Amino acid sequence: MSRHLEFTQGARDMLPMLLGAMPFGIIFGSLAGAAGLSPWQTLGMSALVFAGSAQFIAVSLLAGGAGMAVVLLTTFVVNLRHALYSASLQPYVRHLPKRWRMPLAFWLTDEAYAVVLQRYARGDSAPYRHWYFLGAALAMYGNWLLCTLIGVLFGQAVPNIGDWGLDFAMLATFIGIVVPMLRSQPQVAAALVAAAVALACHALPYKLGLMAAAASGIVVGVWLERREPDLQEELV
């Protein structure tokens, strides 16, 4: 496909994720104002940080009077999962110049990762796949900024938007994307272990349960993949 088609397809494939992210952006815009951030500070955080979980936690800590060092350290830990995302995408983007890799790294989110990884998993050698990445990432970026602005301007007038259940669209889309990609026993085992650990550690603060789930899934997946050749030799 051409650059334009890859870009528009990436943006189109992000639509279910955009729906799921909308209430979170609006809620963040509303909460940030209530925590004492000005409209420009709130929009600036969404534009320069662009990390939903980290932004919610940062606003909560700032509202509680936490120091900047605590805020920075906590948000750093919360965003460590992006290092795992980047590492798994590195084989697909390492040929790109820095002027591409740096902005794509900044715009990488949970939602963009899920959609973009599915595109790369097709295994074709299309030369403009990074334009698909760009289209998906910019769609989420623009959506997040717009919803933050809506929250800043009208958030207090929208009653209990967090209870509308729109976030289920994002969860359902994630499941629909990930499950078909599980094609081997190590992958299935890694996904099941990660899901179990995520549920067990759901109550941990600062989204640490996500890191525990990711680490557990990686360990199990790598261990089983290394054992597969040995098991095949034993069967022979």
Q: How high is the pLDDT of residue 100?
A: 94
Distance, C-alpha 203 to centroid of its chain: 20
Q: Summarize pLDDT for 120-163 with one digit per residue, the tens.
A: 888 777 788 899 999 999 999 999 999 999 999 887 666 665 56
Which of 60-69, 132-141, 212-221 is the least confident region? 60-69
Classify 106 as helix, strand or coil. Answer: helix
Share in percent of the chain as helix, strand, coil (round to 5):
80, 0, 20
- The pair of structure tokens assigned to 32 is 């940030």
Q: How high is the pLDDT of residue 161?
A: 58
Calpha distance 18→21 (Å, rounded) = 5
Asked whether the beta carbons of 32 and 42 are under 8 A apart, the reply is yes
- What's the pLDDT band for 41 if we cut at 50, 70, 90? very high
Q: What is the DSSP letter of 158?
A: S
Strands (E), 122-173: none
Give the best-scoring range by mean pLDDT among 72-76, 181-185, 216-220.
Answer: 216-220
Classify 38 as helix, strand or coil. Answer: coil
Calpha distance 224→231 (Å, rounded) = 10
Average pLDDT over residues 4-26: 89
Share of the chain above pLDDT 90, in %: 28
Asked whether the beta carbons of 194 and 214 are under 8 A apart, the reply is yes
Q: How high is the pLDDT of residue 106?
A: 93
Asked whether the beta carbons of 26 and 161 are under 8 A apart, the reply is yes
Q: How high is the pLDDT of residue 78?
A: 76
Q: Name the residue with tokens 């605590």.
A: 70
Q: Summarize pLDDT for 65-122 with one digit per residue, the tens.
A: 777 887 888 788 778 778 888 888 988 999 999 999 999 999 999 889 989 988 888 8
- The pair of structure tokens assigned to 68 is 């900047």
Calpha distance 73→8 (Å, rounded) = 37
pLDDT tops 50 at residue 236:
no
- What's the pLDDT band for 19 if we cut at 50, 70, 90? confident
Asked whether the beta carbons of 39 and 152 are under 8 A apart, the reply is yes
Average pLDDT over residues 198-214: 79
Asked whether the beta carbons of 23 and 164 are under 8 A apart, the reply is yes
How far, in Å, are 9, 13, 27, 86, 102 from residue 126 at the CA level?
A: 14, 17, 39, 20, 21
**Contacting residues for 40 by C-beta, under 8 A, at least 6 apart:** none
How far, in Å, are 101, 114, 126, 135 from residue 1 at the CA level?
A: 21, 21, 7, 14
Among 17, 22, 58, residue whose Cα is nearest residue 148: 22
